[in-house]
Amino acid sequence: MQSSQSVKVGNRWTVIIGAFIVQVILGTVYAFSVFVLPLEMEFGWSRITTQLAFSVALVTFAIVMIPAGRLQDKFGPRKVTMVGGILTGAAFLLASVLVSADRPWALYLTYGVLGGAGLGFGYGSPIAAAIKWYPDKKGLITGLTLTGMGAGALFFAGPASTLLLPPGEGSEIMGIAQIVLIGMGIEEGGGFGVGWRMFFVLHGLFGAAVIILGASLLRNPPAGWLPPDYEPPARSKNTKQDVDWREMLNTPLAAMLWLTFIFGATSGLMAIGKWAPFVGEILGDQTCAPEWMGTFGRFLEPVAILAIFNAAGRIFWGRLSDWIDRPRAMMIMFLAQGMAFMLLPSVSDSMTVFFASAWIGLNFGGTMALFPAATSDYFGSKNFGVNYGWIFTAYGIAGVLGPVAGAVLYDATEQYVLAFVFAGMLCFLAAGSSVVVWGLARLRETIAVVGLDKVQDAAPSPAPAVSQPVAGQPVPAQATRDERTPTEPVHFQQSVK
Q: Alpha carbon of 400 to those of 114, 153, 274, 337, 464: distances in Å?
A: 18, 20, 14, 20, 52
Cα distance between residue 232 and residue 447, in whole Å: 16
**What is the tens place of the pLDDT at every residue in 451-492?**
555 555 555 555 555 555 555 555 555 544 444 444 444 444
Quick check: do 9-222 and 236-457 share a fold? yes
Strand partners, 118: none
* Residue pair 235/449 in contact by the 8 Å Cβ criterion: yes
pLDDT band for position 251 (50/70/90)?
Answer: very high
Q: Is the pTM of this model over 0.75?
A: yes
**What is the tens place of the pLDDT at every residue in 409-423?**
887 887 888 888 999
pLDDT band for position 255 (50/70/90)?
Answer: very high
Secondary-structure class of domain 236-457 per CATH: mainly alpha
pLDDT of residue 349: 78
pLDDT of residue 495: 41
CATH number of 9-222: 1.20.1250.20
**What is the tens place of the pLDDT at every residue in 317-352?**
999 999 998 999 999 999 999 999 999 888 877 788
Across 264-279, average pLDDT: 82
Residue (of 325, 322, 317, 327) closest to 439 by Cα position: 327
**What is the tens place of the pLDDT at every residue in 144-188?**
888 888 777 777 766 676 677 776 544 555 555 555 555 444 455
Q: Where are the domains of the chain?
A: 9-222, 236-457
b vs e for 344-358, b when ≥16 Cβ sit within 10 Å of the residue's Cβ?
beebeebeebbebbb
Strand partners, 3: 226
